Structure 1
């Protein structure tokens, strides 16, 4: 099992020193990766299910924030949970992601994308809300084509994107394309994960039967597409106070990664919660010596 943490600036704050300290401590504890969410814009009345989002929540751009994190860390992998892919142009996004991967020495490896749930957010960026699923599929194909393409250029003609003989350099570090995981809570998302994804990261509000059905669908879709379903990673949300027995139950369901979040925005209590989790599960670097700056303080 791999263990990751998330940092939601809308709830934990946007102070750069706090973010840097959080990321460094997560890395020192031995967490594999750090995830950030995305909202491009919010507006009064925006709802996620029954939950109304305050329009003043300060969502940082996740890729810019991950670039900052990469410069302050050495090992921790960089992830999004989720990046709203239909609201990004894939030609530009392919360059941004490859840039972060190169500058982080190959750590932009847990890109998780979703299609978005707020109609007003889609309208704000000129995207037809009803087409965002097809747009996402096409964007994934475009990015992979650009990453794999050589000096002769690559061409694409789709419903939403079209170009001829484009070259996109630099390439991701040492790989043909960056892994793309699919996030969501629908069977359409699960099917997309099987057809195009390197993994599936479903949302939290699903009952056990639906979760199992969605993973079965993801795997069967992979077989349908001629892909190996055993290579699909399965990421789930977990709790910072979970027990070994609970982790074992996740593993029995085929989960390969758990993402946890502190229960508080207080930096000291966050640090304590991350440290306690790392010690409870004996994460690889949890016995690392403190950083030099910590010794000097």
Structure 2
């Protein structure tokens, strides 16, 4: 099992020195990856799961942030947790992600996408909130089509996007497509992961029974679609205070990767929390 860490730009801030110090210490501790969240825009009264989002929180663009951190690090993988895919044009996004992957020598490898839950955010970018599931499915297909297409170009006719003989370069590092993990707390997200995803990253607010049911749904959906469920990765949120026993429970549940986050906004305390986690779980020794 692998261990990653999230940097919450809304709560930890976007001071460049602090962001870089966090990422570099995470890399030194042996964390596999660094995740960054996304909201394109919020507004007074916006809420997720009954909790209001303060309108002034600085949600930095995750792709730009990861590009910045790629230049300041050398090993740690780059992830989104989650990128709101229906609010991005896939032709533009394919180029941006491939560029980060090439410039980071193949580290843009934990792209996790979700639908978003704020109707006002969808409206602000001109997306019909009710169509964001279908739009996400088509966007995943378009991303892979563009990444894998050659100099002869590729064409697409869909509900939301269409183009003819399109070429998108540079290609991702090493060729092929970037892995696309599906995030979300709904059974629709679980089915999407089984049908189209390279992995599943469920939300942290699910009950244990519902989370287990969704992971079974991911695997059953993949198998019914003729895909190998054994190739799908399973990522979970956890507390940075977790110990070896909890890690063993996750491993028994088939979890591939655990993502934690510092709980303090103080840089010194963040470093201590990361170091203590790495020591408990043996990250530097390749736990």
Aligned residue number for residue 225 of structure 2: 225
Aligned residue number for residue 144 of structure 2: 144
Superposed displacement of residue 47, structure 1: 0.5
Q: Secondary structure at the match of 1:168?
A: coil
Separation of aligned partners in 2, 1:177 and 1:159: 22
Q: Secondary structure at the match of 2:75?
A: coil
Q: Secondary structure at the match of 2:54?
A: coil
Separation of aligned partners in 2, 1:279 and 1:209: 31
Aligned residue number for residue 170 of structure 2: 170
Per-residue CA distance 1:206-239 (angstroms, 9 max, x = gap): 1111111101111111112211000100000011
Separation of aligned partners in 2, 1:15 and 1:228: 43
1:127 and 2:121 correspond: no
The RMSD of aligned alpha carbons is: 0.8
Q: Secondary structure at the match of 2:44?
A: coil
1:157 and 2:157 correspond: yes
Aligned residue number for residue 73 of structure 1: 73
Report if aligned partners of 1:28, 1:285 keep a CA contact under 8 Å in 2: no
1:35 and 2:39 correspond: no
Report if aligned partners of 1:3, 1:33 keep a CA contact under 8 Å in 2: yes
Aligned residue number for residue 256 of structure 2: 256
Superposed displacement of residue 49, structure 1: 1.2
Q: Secondary structure at the match of 1:223?
A: helix
Question: 1:187-226 alignment to 2 at 5 Å?
Answer: 187-226=187-226
Aligned residue number for residue 179 of structure 1: 179
Aligned residue number for residue 290 of structure 1: none
* Number of residue equivalences: 286
Report if aligned partners of 1:14, 1:58 keep a CA contact under 8 Å in 2: yes
Superposed displacement of residue 175, structure 1: 3.2
Separation of aligned partners in 2, 1:124 and 1:70: 30
Report if aligned partners of 1:115, 1:136 keep a CA contact under 8 Å in 2: yes
Per-residue CA distance 1:61-111 (angstroms, 9 max, x = gap): 000000000000000000000000000000000000000000000000000
Extract unaligned runs of 5+ from structure 2.
none
